[in-house]
Structure 1
Amino acid sequence: FILFAGNAQFYPQETYHPEQYSSLLQSLNHGSSHYSILSIDKRKTFVIQGDFPRTGWNYLYFQDYDPLFSAIHTVLIRMILFSAVVVMIALFLALLLLRRILHHLDLLVEKIRRFGQGLQDPEDTAHYDYSLRTDEIGQLHVSFDEMKSNVKTLRDKNYEKQLLLRDTNIKMLQQQINPHFLYNTLDTINWMAQKYGADDISTMVRSLGNLFRAAVNSKEDLIPLKMELDVLKDYIRIQQIRFGDRLDFQLHVPDDISNIYVPTLCIQPLVENALKYALEFSDDVCHITVTISEKDTVYQ
C-alpha cells in the first residue's frame, strides 16, 4: 500500500516497483478509483488506484492476483458443480414424475388394447381406484371405464336382441311351414270337391285359402283397394254358403280404383263384426252394403 502527496511517495519509505508509479498516477482522475491487472515479476498483480479528495493524497494498492483468481476459480468450480448437482437432482425428480405419469397413461393404453381384444384389464389397475383422483389422468381412466361399462351393457342387450330375433325367425319359419301345409291341404280338398261336383265346398275351400294367404302374406301397411276388396269377397262367399239367403250383401265401388290404397284388412273386419252381431243373434235377413265413393277428392 503506497501513499503519494502529489507525485512524491511518503509511505512507505521503501519503494515498490517505482517504474510503474508514473504511468499509474497519470491515469488517476480526481475523485475516482480505477483498477487494473498488471504483470509484475512475471506474476499477475491486481492494482487499485485512487485518491483522497480531502487531503489530495493518492494511493496505490498492489495485491497478488493469483490467490484471488484461484479463490474466484474455486468458487466458480463449486458453483458449477453445485448447479450440475441441482440440475441432475431436478432431472431425476422430473424423470420420476414423468415415469409416474406415463405409467398410468401406458396402463390406459393397455386397457384400451385389451378391451379391443376382449381381454381382462391389467392387474395393476385392479388394485388402483382412479375415481379418487381429480386430475386429467384419473378422469380419463374413469371416463374410459364408464364407456367400457356402457359398451358392455349395449353389447349384452344387442346379444339378447340377436337371440330374440333368431328365435323369432325360427318361429316365423315354423309358421311359414304350417301355412304351406295348410294351403296344400286346402288345394287338395278343393280339387277333390271339384272332382265330386261339390261346388259349394270347392268355393268355400278356395275362398278360405285366399283369406289365409292374405292374412299371412300381408307385410305392407298400405295395399291397393282391389286386393282388400278381393279379401272381402272371399270372406262373403264363405259366409253366404254358411248362412244362405239370410245374408244379403251389396258392394258398390267406382269403376277406377287402381290409384286407391288403404290399410291392410281395414274393411273385412268391419263386415265380419256386422255379421257377428247381426246373424248369430237373430233369424232375420241381414242386409250389409259397402259403398265406396269419392267426396271432395277423398274416397270414403
Structure 2
Amino acid sequence: MIINTLKSKFLLNSLYNVSIRTRLLIYFLLLVLLPTGIITITAYNISSRIITQRINTSLENDMNTVEANIIKEFQTIDDLSSYIYLNPNLTYILSDTPDSIKAQIFPKSSADIISELSILNKVLENYDFSNLNTTNITPKIYMRDKPEYNSYSFSDKVFDLGRIDTQQWYLSLPYRFKYSVVGLNKIKEDSGHKYTILLAKKLYALKDINISYAGLLTIDIGLDDFNAILENIKPTPDSVTYVIDNNRNINICSDSSALGKNINDIIPAFSSVDLLNEKYGSFNSSINNEAYFIAHKKIESIGWSIINISPRNKLYGILDTFKAVMYMGFFIFFIIGILMSLFLSENIAYPIRRLAKSMNNVQNGNFDNTLDYKRNDEFSYLVDTYNLMIRKIKELIDKLYVSELNKKEAELKSLQAQINPHFLYNTLDSVNWLAIRNNVPDISKMVTSLSDFFRYSLSKGRNIISIADELNQVNSYLSIQQIRFKDKLDFSFDISHEVRNYLTIKLILQPIVENSIIHGIEKTGLKGNIIIKADKKEDLIVISVIDNGAGADIEELNALLEETTRPSKSYGIKNVNDRIKHTFGPDYGIQFIKNEGPGLTVTITFPATNSLDQK
C-alpha cells in the first residue's frame, strides 16, 4: 500500500506534470535507448569476460613455457653436475677422505696436494658442454676437511668447504643427491660484480663403504640465458616478467637494478597474494598511477614463482577497441533515437500545441483564430469540432455584446435627451446674474461651474472629445464639490501640455473623482486632497487620479473591473472601464493602485490618438 502510494506520488510529481511532448519524448527515448543500452552492456561484459579468459589462458601457457625452459635449464645443469660427479678422478679423490686408512698411514705431501688440486681443476675445466645452450656457467668444488687447500691459490675453482660451511644457504641445503637451486648469487669480478643463479649438489665418497659426505659441487649459471627465456615470451612489448624465490625476492629479470629486491616493494598489491596455495592467478593493479594486468604462476618443483606485469591498455587493446566501437555505436543510436523521438513526439504533440495556443487566444478574447488542420487522422475531427464551437461562441458573443452596447448608448442618449440644453443654460445664467446682483459670489461660482459641467458633459451630443475638455469638465465638478465641502477639499492638476489635444471618450474622470470623494475622503472625516495627473508615455496616455482617502481592497476593486455581470457597487467605474476597452481595445482601461501613504491611485491608460470614430 505504501509502495503504491509513493509510486503514485512520484509519477504525479515528476512525469505527469510535464507536457505531452516531453512525456512522449521520454517514452520514445526509453523505448529505443533502454534495449540498446542493455544489449551494449551485456555484449561488452560477455566480450570482456571472453577476452580476459583468453588473456589468462595465453599468459598461463606462456608461463608454462617459461617454467618448462627454466626447469630444462636446471635439468641440463644437473646432467652436467652428474657428469662431473661421476668422473673417475673426482670419485677417487672424494673417496680418499681424511678418515680413510690410507690417509692415516700415508699423509699427503705438498706435491700430493698440488697434484690433487690440479686434477680437480682439470676435471672442472674439461667438462663437456656440447649439449648445453650456453657456456656461461662456472662450476666449483668445495672439499670437506681440506684446510691445506687454503695454502695454495693457483685454482679459482677448488676450495676447502670451510670457506662456505657457515653461510645460511649452505646450512639450509637438504640431504639428498639431487641438485638444489640455491638462488641468486653475487660474484665478484675484476670489472665489478655480476649476478648468477647458483645450483648446488652434495658429493659423497662413492667408493667408501660408509658413502660419507665428502664435498659440494656448485655451478653458477649466468642470467643471460634466463633473460632470453623471459624476453622471447612477452604478451606485449612493454611487458615485464620476474622470477622470484619463496621469500619473494627477485632472482631473474631483465632489469639488473631490481635483482634481489622484494616483489612487494615493486607491486604493493602483491603482498596479499597467497603464493603457497595459489598455483595460478591474475588481478588488476595500479603502479605509479598506471593500470597493469598482473599474472603469477608457481613453479612447484623449486618453490619459485613467475610474475608477469603488462600494461592493461596494451594487453586489452582489442577490448578497448571494441569498447570504443560500442560507445560510438551507442552514441549513434542515441542521436538517431533522439531525432526519431523528437520527430515522433513533435508529430503527435504539434496539433495538441496548436489547439492549446488557439484556446489561449480565445481566452484572451480573440475568436477569429480558427485552426487550419489538413491531416486526415483522429485530430481532424477534434479540430473541426473545435472550430465549429468557436464560431458559435463568437456569434453568441457578438449578438450579446452588440445588444448590450446598443442598450447603453440608448440609455445615455435618453439621459441627454431628457435635458433641454438651451432652457438649462438660460435658467442657470439667470440665477448667476441674481447671485451677482445680490453679492453672493459662492452661488455665482457654483452656478457657473454647474453650467460648465453640463456643457462639457453634453458636448453637443459628441461621445469623442479632447482631453482638455474632459479635464475642464472634471474641474467644474470639483469646483462645485469644493464649495460644498468648503475647506475640507483641495484639488490640483498636473497636466503635460502635449496631452491636451489628444482625443478620449467623455465622462471617464468624473465617476472616478466622485468615487474618490464619496468612498474615500468622506469616510476619513479629514481634509481631502485630489491630484489629477496626465502624461504621455511613448504611445500611451496615462491619467492618474490620486486621493488621500480611506483606501480600499485593491485586489477586490481590480477584480470588480473584470466581472462579466453587473456589479453591486462601483458600477460607474466598471462602466468607464468597459467603455475604454470597447473603444480602444482589451489591453487598455482602469487599474487601482495602493498609495505608499493613505488613499488610492486610479490610473487610466489608452492610446494617444488624434482621430477616433464617433460612436
Q: TM range, normalised to the smaller chain?
A: 0.3 to 0.5
User: TM-score normalized by structure 2?
Assistant: 0.20
